[in-house]
Amino acid sequence: MWLDNLDDLDSWEVSAQTRETSEQQKEKKDSYKKWLAWIQRTQKDEKKAKKDEDFLFLIISKILEDKKYDILLPFIVELLEIGTPSNFILWGLSLVYEPAVEIIRNNYSGKEWLILTNSNSPLPPGEESGVRDNKLTFDYQKTSELIEFSEENLDKILRNRINEWIEDIYKVVSNDPSTIISNRFLSLTSDKEKIKFINFLSSLLTFFFYDLNIVIQKNTAFNYSEFILWEIIKKVSRLELEEI
């Protein structure tokens, strides 16, 4: 009699295989969707990285034409060699090279910023108010002689310029953040390469103040740079990034 049940057994096995195949197909379809989503996010990140690289190439090309900035080149090269995200280097240079400020504020802030040198440009409709917030205003008059940096006696204009510079990096990393770029930054700043980031920022602060006839001590510039970098790391760490 048990032989009579073989047909039923075959039907059950076929049915089981059909169900299993259906489940596998669903899993495959889900994996394909995830894969397509991964490709889209990766392409988006690559497109953003390409934009950053193009902007940085433009700025470095201009800087190379001015010997004034030669002293900064070794610090820039150090970061380029380890694959530092271009948007970080671009932002850093915006402290000492005004065209970089214009690129940062016109392309990473989510709305157009106005640079003081271009203040005659017409404003977009509805943005006539609050113009001072969207414009780099830096009219500090440097002294004829070298003076030593003092945080207690730091001119308000200089203090505001440094604060605006730091605020700009927050806008850069927060504006349509890239998962790949953000993770690369966090990875590089969590190991021995971190010192290269601090040295880069320190060189920029030293250059910025010396150009205004203000001498900042090396350890002071280093400590400020270490603090600024830590604040940036915290900001990037808190971003809500898409998983890849």
Span 123-169, pLDDT tens digits = 333 333 334 344 566 678 888 899 999 988 889 999 999 999 999 99
Res 51: pLDDT: 86
Q: What is the mean pLDDT of residues 112-118?
A: 41
Give the confidence band of 37 by pLDDT, cuts at 50, 70, 90: low
pTM for the complete prediction?
0.75
Give the confidence band of 230 by pLDDT, cuts at 50, 70, 90: very high
Name which residue leads in pLDDT, 219 or 114. Answer: 219
Res 225: pLDDT: 97
CA–CA gap between residue 174 and residue 16 (Å, rounded): 50
Res 202: pLDDT: 98
> What is the 3 state secondary structure string of the chain?
CHHHHHHHHHHHHHHHHHHHHHHHHHHHHHHHHHHHHHHHHHHHHHHHHHHHHHHHHHHHHHHCCCHHHHHHHHHHHHHHHCCCCHHHHHHHHCCCCHHHHHHHHHHCCCCCCEEHHHCCCCCCCCCCCCHHHHEECCCCCCCCCCEECCCCCCCHHHHHHHHHHHHHHHHHHHCCCCHHHHHHHHHHCCCCCHHHHHHHHHHHHHHHHHCCCEECCHHHHHHHHHHHHHHHHHHHHCCCCCCC
* Average pLDDT of the chain to the nearest whole number: 79
Res 140: pLDDT: 83
Q: Where are the domains of the chain?
A: 49-121+128-237
Res 6: pLDDT: 42
